[in-house]
Amino acid sequence: MTATGSKAQRRQVWTVVELIRWTTGYLEEKGFEDARLQVERLLAHVLRCDRVGLYLQFDRPLTPEELGSFKTLLKRRLAHEPLQYVLGECEFRGLRLKVDRRALIPRPETEQLVDVCLNLFAGKAPARVLDVGTGSGNIVLALAPEWPQTEFVAVDVSPGALELATENATALGLESRVRFLQADVFANEFPRRVGGEFGLVVSNPPYVRPDEWPTLQPEITQYEPKEALVSEPDGLRFYRRLAELAPQLISGDGWLVVEVGDSQAADVRAIFQTKGFAEVTVHRDLAGRDRVVAGRR
């Protein structure tokens, strides 16, 4: 492998199992967690199979072209580019989504946000849903198949993110179900721009404090869009704005449901209560952290 400068790099033929074992050890030496999983996902991507498929062809030699493609992807990961960006895709609630640097990578924690929305409307789907800060479109595209009669509007301030979300909607056959709009939630015309009231407003907004940004992993700070993560000055600006706009955005008994960062749930709940929300509830993710705040008008 060219990444090492060792005797190993002079090898001409690598089998699947040899490449997995050697590269796993190399990534572990470099401090990467879940090294074998990452190596297997990279190699499965190159060989166009799943990880089980790798185990069914452990002794197969790689062609020079396959080895070259693997090296290219490995170099990107060694530079701390997120695995999802290297692969160009991620999974979210069973959906395979295209991801790149135009938008934040969907996190497993955000699946809990979708679950809370579905549970709140278990008896009857909302007529209209607004997704604020849609990014890759993961939230709205997970909700749309569950509520086939609902009208969905998804907004983002970033043209690139909206392009990516539209590409994902088209790939999933949901392009006719969601109207994507470029809009700034802090603009005075935002309520008019999105067009009327909604039974559900859902958002995974930027909530990282500026002082937290330098402490995050290089996978985040070097590659993911900062504007999708950081909220001046204290990480709570978007929650205040959404709560402020609630009378113009949310129908009489509708819901505002948001994802929150660690240790923010109490502050966001207080913001909602100050703005007159009832039935304000906090929901934990699978790791036991307060992750979602929901409030009803």
Transcribe 44-64 into DSSP letters: HHHHTS-HHHHHTTTTPBPPH
Domain 98-296, what architecture?
3-Layer(aba) Sandwich (3.40)
pLDDT digits (tens, 9 = 90+) for 55-104: 999 999 999 999 999 999 999 999 999 999 999 999 999 999 999 999 99
pLDDT given for residue 196 in this prediction:
84
pLDDT band at 5 (very low <50, low <70, confident <90, very high): very low
How far out from the chain centre does Cα 39 lie?
A: 22
Token pair listed for 84? 């999802």
Q: Flag whether pLDDT at 4 surpasses 50.
A: no
pLDDT at position 1:
56
* Whether residue 205 has a cis bond before it, omega within 30° of 0: no
6 pLDDT more than 70:
no
The percent of residues above 90 in pLDDT, for the chain, comes to 93
Q: Which residues pair with 87 in a beta bridge?
A: none
Please give the structure tokens belonging to residue 243.
């709560």
The CATH architecture that domain 7-79 belongs to is: Orthogonal Bundle (1.10)
- Answer yes or no: are the C-beta atoms of 246 and 200 closer than 8 Å: no
**So where are the chain's domains?**
7-79, 98-296
* 297 band by pLDDT with thresholds 50, 70 and 90: confident
The Cα 34–Cα 28 span in angstroms is 8
Q: Mean of the per-residue pLDDT values for the chain?
A: 95
Assess contact for 256 and 242: CB atoms under 8 A. yes
Average pLDDT, stretch 35-49? 97
Give helix then strand counts, H and E, for the chain. 12, 9
Strands 198-203, 250-259: pairing is parallel
Residue 2 has pLDDT above 60, yes or no: no
